[in-house]
Structure 1
């Protein structure tokens, strides 16, 4: 039984090798990391996130300054305050610091969530551009991650980057 299976596998391998030789297969490589970094859509997404989170960032800076001012006042005037006033000031400072930590934590969580959403959108745009370039230029196979070496003549990263730039200027 093993000899029959081995013979069948050998025949199939020869058949596929002959088929591959008879038709030219066009293969290319694309560096998706470079595309995700250099695509103009990445800059657009970054600016969008900065604009979206700027008010909360300012709110956190203001809260930091307020807490720092209260701490400075407490350090400077604490020795001359009554015990009850100093205790109230310390409690207020602790409350402000807890609020600040909560604000910072929520900010980081929300920012990371939005970054991941924007990255997902960017990945879909880059993938669509890769597929478009592959179809336009007649490639049968495009390789990306996990490639140890790709000769410059099969690297179409610059073609895909040009397509992404064209899409931005066309308003897509």
Structure 2
């Protein structure tokens, strides 16, 4: 009975020592706000400018075509009382066909833009992840999180990631 009591005391003492050792080793944790990286890093800004240059003309052409179609619809509405039934029907069919074409072109533009935006952002994310891994290794972090609900500013390394990305050429 006495030996069981001594074993229990020894076990409790060793558990307390182990718990103290774990508490003595502090975890080094970092947090990266990916949304902020994608908004503030020069690489992300350059990707946005590149996309605007690549898709801006098409967007302007679509807006111009839409305005032209709206003008033609207003003209038809204004001229409708003086037009023959056949002419009014022909113009309406033309407008419907032009509107279908415009909607198709808008969809294609949106799909192309989304695909290119995903390509550009994935390249930025890939480079940011490499920088995060580099910081993790160099500064001996135990854990780096991305996108947390709550975090303390003392663990936020987002600025460090952005600065490192901006320093790269």
Q: Structure 2 matches for 1:27-106, cutoff 5 A?
A: 27-106=29-108
Please give the secondary structure, in 2, of the residue aligned with 1:79: helix
Residue matched to 1:165: 166
| Structure 1: 5+ residue stretches without partners | 1-9
Aligned to 2:82, the other structure's residue is in SS state coil
- Are the aligned partners of 2:31 and 2:147 in contact in 1 as well (CA < 8 Å)? no
1:103-122 to 2 correspondences below 5 Å: 103-122=105-124
The TM-score normalised by the length of structure 2 is 0.79
**Does the C-alpha gap of structure 1 residues 16 and 95 become closer, same or farther in structure 2, counting only changes over 3 Å?**
farther
Residue in structure 1 matched with residue 132 of structure 2 by the alignment: 130
For structure 2, which runs of at least 5 residues remain unmatched after alignment? 1-10
* 3-state SS, counterpart of residue 148 of structure 2: coil
Deviation at 1:115, TM superposition (A): 1.7
The change in CA–CA distance for 1:73 and 1:147 in structure 2 (over 3 A counts) is: closer
Give the TM-score taking structure 1 as reference length: 0.77
Change (3 A) 1:147 1:59: closer
Structure 1 runs (4+) deviating above 3 angstroms are 14-25
- The equivalent of 1:139 in structure 2 is 141
SS for the counterpart of 1:92 is helix
1:133–1:163 CA contact under 8 A, matched in 2: no
Query: How many residue pairs align between the two structures?
Result: 156
Asked if 1 retains the 8 angstrom alpha-carbon contact of 2:30 and 2:141, the reply is yes
**Contact in 1 for aligned 2:131/2:165 (Cα 8 Å):** yes
Query: Does structure 1 retain, via aligned residues, the 8 Å contact 2:31–2:151?
Result: no
**Partner Cα distance (1:146, 1:21) in 2:** 24
